[in-house]
Amino acid sequence: MEKYAARSVKQQIDRVLWEVWDPIGVNWDPIGKISPARDEYSGYLNGVLQLLTSAASDSRHRQHLLKIVHDRMELKAATVEDMQPTVTALRESAAVLILKIATDFVYSTASQWCR
């Protein structure tokens, strides 16, 4: 994966983990400022990216996220069903990024041929 594409994908994963997943509730800020905990979930980006690029099932994604919540964050009340909105958002973000990357590639290739 090209550096630009990988960076874009990681930014989207980070956004989804922050805005949708947020199992410990650190993204909420009553005065609208960026939370000092903004990078709280960045340590999980590579694992999620690996699952996305390996075409893992939704079930595998849910289990991965739940394992993080249970084992690393020690939040035992979370269920596998609680992870589905995050998996859905990750899939949607990945699909949009893949389409953008493919479109950019087609346009750059076409422009090279038309020179």
Q: Where are the domains of the chain?
A: 3-113
Residue 9 burial class via C-beta count within 10 angstroms: exposed 0-12, middle 13-18, buried 19 and up: buried
Note the pTM of the prediction, 2 decimals.
Answer: 0.79
51-108 pLDDT per residue, tens: 988 889 999 999 999 999 999 999 999 999 999 999 999 998 887 776 666 676 666 7
Question: Which residues 6+ apart lie within 8 Å of 42 measured at CB?
Answer: 14
Residue 36: which pLDDT band, with cuts at 50, 70 and 90?
confident
